């Protein structure tokens, strides 16, 4: 009998975490690595939040609490989403999770039967795709178009919706592209959903980067379109906006209280509750004006870095890069580099097994890490299905500008190091994430 249940062969992972041991290895054997792989702001927790966590700990708020989330945090979130999106939710619609991530897979467990179809953006946050086959649902990638700023057309979505569709994931601003959909694009997407999808299809709108938008744009949520709040799960969290990835606080706002209670039941089964001292500090994050000011400052810095790094990247021969409207990532197209280094040919000559495990951009990623000491992620890390022939990297701008510029210089050096690459491919053909 096999040790592991068969379903474990059907789950994916997140390469942002898997690249860590490679970075440690390179750092120990060659020297420091410029880390542009991290999806977490390089900022400290806002001061008022930090103070509140300590105050809560000193007050002894360290015990079990409501598995759906503390009433105080749930009512604060309900008020916040009602205020920012003109909604009419109650604290009973809100569920708190340890981070933004858990509600992604729990949503599939709650709504999908085997054979149901799940539409998700690709490239996109890898956890949308990685869970689908685990719950025996069918992955239906919605490919984002580079030339349209990594959004998609209503027609593209309409073609994918079938009577088996159960969940549609949306994510603006997007990881990994930084793409932001305009209000009119969101309205067109909503129109397709309202016309083509039955009312029990759930849209999961991942708005975790909602406050990190640039160029004086306003975040526009699909829940603001009349008729959409009744069928949309609004997901967000505290990791990105408040530079609080270690706090593990995220939330979902469900269209009905009955649905929120289904999530609560899974919470009870999986983790009982989320640390109450952090939940109370999350209330401060959403209500304290000094926190708002610190967030704005961080967003301004991300925007400045975007502009500077974009210019540096576009100056590398063989690299093109769209200007992201939000989040803290750049997603350059490196097809020209892959071509000039011969990586596309090299990849197409690999055996089927090896070919599946990597991509031309993935080979470049490992070469850049091992020989030029810069860590980035490749396109394959953001959705595997249909990623063939797409040659992108994701760089995070969550480092000081000087560090970012050094990192881009390392990428430039790697892009021109034909001899080094040849040696690398000969010596380390086994290197994959
Ligand atoms: C789009 C998106 N959703 C959800 C998450 C998960 O966030 P958390 O760290 O709060 O679990 C991330 C993290 O990178 C993300 O990029």
Q: Are residues 305 and 278 in the same domain?
A: no
Q: What pLDDT was estimated at residue 251? A: 98
- On whether the CB atoms of residues 78 and 93 are closer than 8 A, the answer is yes
74, part of any domain: yes
Q: Are residues 341 and 362 in the same domain?
A: yes
433, part of any domain: no
Asked whether 123 lines ligand 1 (CB < 6 A), one says no
178, part of any domain: yes
Q: What is the CATH number of the domain that holds 183?
A: 3.40.640.10
432, part of any domain: no
User: Residue 71, exposed/middle/buried by CB under 10 A (0-12, 13-18, 19+)?
Assistant: middle
The C-alpha atoms of residue 180 and residue 326 are separated, in whole angstroms, by 6
Q: What is the pLDDT of residues 297-341, one digit of tens each?
A: 999 999 999 999 999 999 999 999 999 999 999 999 999 999 999
The C-alpha atoms of residue 432 and residue 370 are separated, in whole angstroms, by 11
The C-alpha atoms of residue 69 and residue 264 are separated, in whole angstroms, by 9
- On whether the CB atoms of residues 393 and 365 are closer than 8 A, the answer is yes
- On whether the CB atoms of residues 240 and 234 are closer than 8 A, the answer is no
Q: Are residues 366 and 314 in the same domain?
A: yes
The C-alpha atoms of residue 145 and residue 96 are separated, in whole angstroms, by 33
Q: What pLDDT was estimated at residue 148? A: 84
Q: What is the mean pLDDT of residues 407-412?
A: 98
Q: Global pTM?
A: 0.96
42, part of any domain: no
Q: What is the pLDDT of residues 345-358, one digit of tens each?
A: 999 999 998 888 89
Q: What is the CATH number of the domain that holds 410?
A: 3.90.1150.10
Q: Is the pLDDT of residue 433 over 80?
A: no
The C-alpha atoms of residue 105 and residue 71 are separated, in whole angstroms, by 24
The parent domain of residue 221 ranges over: 47-288
CA 357 to chain centre: 21
Asked whether 39 lines ligand 1 (CB < 6 A), one says yes
411 Cα: distance to centroid of ligand 1 (angstroms): 26
Domain final residue, candidates 252, 270, 288: 288
Q: Are residues 169 and 208 in the same domain?
A: yes
The C-alpha atoms of residue 61 and residue 274 are separated, in whole angstroms, by 12
Strand pairing category for 250-253 and 202-206: unpaired
237 Cα: distance to centroid of ligand 1 (angstroms): 8
Q: Are residues 297 and 279 in the same domain?
A: no
Q: Are residues 90 and 140 in the same domain?
A: yes
Q: Is the pLDDT of residue 239 over 90?
A: yes
Q: Per the structure block, which two tokens stand in for 402?
A: 């000087």
404, part of any domain: yes
Q: Per the structure block, which two tokens stand in for 108?
A: 């599939």
Please report the atom of ligand 1 found closest to the CA of residue 171.
1
Any bridge partners for residue 374, and if so which?
A: 34
- On whether the CB atoms of residues 302 and 212 are closer than 8 A, the answer is yes
Q: What pLDDT was estimated at residue 430? A: 65
Q: Say whether the peptide bond before residue 123 is cis (omega within 30 degrees of 0).
A: yes
350 Cα: distance to centroid of ligand 1 (angstroms): 33
Domain final residue, candidates 288, 311, 334: 288
Q: Are residues 282 and 296 in the same domain?
A: no
Asked whether 121 lines ligand 1 (CB < 6 A), one says no
Q: Are residues 239 and 275 in the same domain?
A: yes
Ligand 1: which of 38, 97, 99 to mutate, judged by most atoms within 8 Å of the beta carbon? 99
Q: Are residues 109 and 211 in the same domain?
A: yes
The C-alpha atoms of residue 137 and residue 356 are separated, in whole angstroms, by 22
* Out of 8-22, 90-104, 238-252, least confident range: 8-22
Domain final residue, candidates 235, 266, 288: 288
Q: Are residues 271 and 333 in the same domain?
A: no
208 Cα: distance to centroid of ligand 1 (angstroms): 7
Q: Are residues 349 and 203 in the same domain?
A: no
Q: Is the pLDDT of residue 73 over 90?
A: yes
Q: In what order do the strands lie in the sheet with 377-378?
A: 329-330, 393-396, 377-378
Asked whether 239 lines ligand 1 (CB < 6 A), one says yes
Q: Are residues 129 and 236 in the same domain?
A: yes
Based on the structure, what is the number of domains in the chain? 2
């Amino acid at each position: 009998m096999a040790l592991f249940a068969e379903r474990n062969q059907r789950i994916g992972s997140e390469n942002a975490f898997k690249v860590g041991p490679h970075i440690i290895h390179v750092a120990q054997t060659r020297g420091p690595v410029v880390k542009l792989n991290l999806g977490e702001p390089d900022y400290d927790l806002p001061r008022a939040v930090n103070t509140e966590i300590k105050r809560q700990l000193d007050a002894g708020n360290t015990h079990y609490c409501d598995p759906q989330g503390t009433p105080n945090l749930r009512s604060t979130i309900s008020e916040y989403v009602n205020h920012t999106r003109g909604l009419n939710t109650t604290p009973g619609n809100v569920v708190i999770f340890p981070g933004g991530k858990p509600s992604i897979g729990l949503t599939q467990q709650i709504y999908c039967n085997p054979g149901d179809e799940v539409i998700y953006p690709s490239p996109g946050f890898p956890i949308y795709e990685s869970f689908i086959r685990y719950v025996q649902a069918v992955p239906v990638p919605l490919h984002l178009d580079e030339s349209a700023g990594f959004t998609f057309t209503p027609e593209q979505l309409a073609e994918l919706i079938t009577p088996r569709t159960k969940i549609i994931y949306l994510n603006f601003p997007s990881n990994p592209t930084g793409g932001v959909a305009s209000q009119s694009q969101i309205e067109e997407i909503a129109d397709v959903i309202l016309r083509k999808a039955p009312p029990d299809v759930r849209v999961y709108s991942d708005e975790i980067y909602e406050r990190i938008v640039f160029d004086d744009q306003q975040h526009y949520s699909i829940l603001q379109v009349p008729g959409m709040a009744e069928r949309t799960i609004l997901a967000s969290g505290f990791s990105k906006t408040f530079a609080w990835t270690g706090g593990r606080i995220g939330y979902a706002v469900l269209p009905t209280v009955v649905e929120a209670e289904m999530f609560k039941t899974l919470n009870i089964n999986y983790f009982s509750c989320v640390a109450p001292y952090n939940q109370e500090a999350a209330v401060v994050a959403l209500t304290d004006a000094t926190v708002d000011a610190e967030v704005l400052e961080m967003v301004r810095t991300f925007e400045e870095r975007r502009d500077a790094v974009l210019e540096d990247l576009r100056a590398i021969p063989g690299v093109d890069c769209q200007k992201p409207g939000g989040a803290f990532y750049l997603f350059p197209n490196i097809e020209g580099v892959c071509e000039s280094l011969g990586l596309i040919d090299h990849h197409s000559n690999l055996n089927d097994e090896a070919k599946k495990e990597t991509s031309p951009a993935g080979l470049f990623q490992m070469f850049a890490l091992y020989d030029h000491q810069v860590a980035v992620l490749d396109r394959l890390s953001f959705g595997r299905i249909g990623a063939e022939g797409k040659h992108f990297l994701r760089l995070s701008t969550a480092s000081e500008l000087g560090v970012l510029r050094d990192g881009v210089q390392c990428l430039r050096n790697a892009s021109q190091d034909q001899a080094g690459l040849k040696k690398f491919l000969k010596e380390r053909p086994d290197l994959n994430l």
